[in-house]
Structure 1
């Protein structure tokens, strides 16, 4: 009987210790860790979300980069460079910063997207090596129509691809571009691949109408052009 009582006491002690350890483990596992500090962390992708789970930003390597979203719907998988992608509360991608560089060239682009459609502003740098050697960098602006959203463009693209007619596909997108549905470049300030540094303004049809720049020989130019690209006034 005495031996049995001893074993019962030991069992009670064991049970009490086990309960305490489990309680500590649960407390440590679920306590608020918002104040933790890390000296270094290696990660392939980080998703920044609101309390309700709404995605607001993705920081990712190339392999795990987000393809983009339209109205909370994931776009089709596509290759994108490493960087940061931003999302608004409407569930659309609204800009980002991507970059890369290898033996063939280098580049970095920071984009700001118009609501419901694609980029309207980019701070960009690109450089090609080898035979295509050249360097372009600066600020670029576009105009994009309000009546032809990115979601609509994706639907048109999907419908055309289902026809399996490359010639028709190319012709259709050429017409969309001609109609201004794919956006018009309006402004560039920076350095061109020809070594010109300056300001280049385009009209609503995307035609260059004013150039103010210094060429690669350090000559200054102020040129007004007509809709066909002919210089109508030049001040040196």
Structure 2
């Protein structure tokens, strides 16, 4: 009996030692061969980082998508579509690619962000389902001020929400929009929801001033507009 107990004890020790050796072998194998080849992998999110841990890119599904960062500080949780989000060494989100499509519609956007603020260039596509698709796609550009950064915008938004005054909130945002603090669209090249294909240029107030396009009836247009949107010159 004592001999049996002794042999069982030896087997336990042997088993533990063998398990440790196996783990060490696996660890050393991965350590000595950092470049692994996978034919297929299912993953919800991948973080691309530098050696020091600085985040540079996130590839994620919708549920685990990164909320964004400003000066290495995480933004508040928000719903974002699946895709890729890019980050610079300063710790700011600097662009990305997001997409989705469901029973209500489809869309995809590739964005390039201005330093310290939001997007200034987008390659975009969107459409709804049904008879009125509202399909729009093309290249869009914005101007954004240097003195009203995304970090400042977030602070203003947080402060206004704490006041719990919907009217004041709406008025302040209308004022910021009028002053151009939220950016102004300047350029669009693509197809509009009305079926026009061409170039649409806006002034520094965001008003359309020049349209060069072919309409859905294949008629060509070159239109200059005044501040109120009235056509000054129309060449066919």
Partners of 1:79 and 1:16 lie apart in 2 by 52
Q: Give yes or no for the alignment of 1:29 onto 2:30.
A: no
Q: Give yes or no for the alignment of 1:160 onto 2:153.
A: no
Give the 5 Å matches for 1:1-236. Answer: 22-23=20-21, 25-30=23-28, 31-32=30-31, 33-130=33-130, 132-236=132-236
CA offset digits 1:193-230 (Å, max 9, x no partner): 00000000001110101000000000000001111111
Deviation at 1:128, TM superposition (A): 1.0
What is the TM-score with the length of structure 1 in the denominator?
0.91
Q: Find the residue that maps to 2:223 and give its secondary structure.
A: strand
Q: Which segment drifts farther, 200-209 or 124-133? A: 124-133
Gaps of 5+ in 1: none
CA offset digits 1:16-41 (Å, max 9, x no partner): 89757634531421442422111111
Q: Find the residue that maps to 1:134 and give its secondary structure.
A: coil
Partners of 2:26 and 2:173 lie apart in 1 by 58
Partners of 1:51 and 1:115 lie apart in 2 by 24
How big is the alpha-carbon RMSD for the aligned residues of Structure 1 and Structure 2? Answer: 2.1
Q: Find the residue that maps to 2:127 and give its secondary structure.
A: strand
CA offset digits 1:96-152 (Å, max 9, x no partner): 000000111000000000000000000000001236521000000000000000000
Deviation at 1:190, TM superposition (A): 0.1
Q: Which segment drifts farther, 15-24 or 91-100? A: 15-24
Q: Find the residue that maps to 2:66 and give its secondary structure.
A: coil
Q: Find the residue that maps to 2:193 and give its secondary structure.
A: coil
Partners of 1:48 and 1:199 lie apart in 2 by 37
Q: Which segment drifts farther, 144-153 or 37-46? A: 37-46
Partners of 2:102 and 2:234 lie apart in 1 by 41
Partners of 1:76 and 1:186 lie apart in 2 by 29
Deviation at 1:153, TM superposition (A): 0.1
Q: Find the residue that maps to 1:25 and give its secondary structure.
A: helix
Pair 29,177 (structure 1): closer, same or farther in 2 beyond 3 Å: same
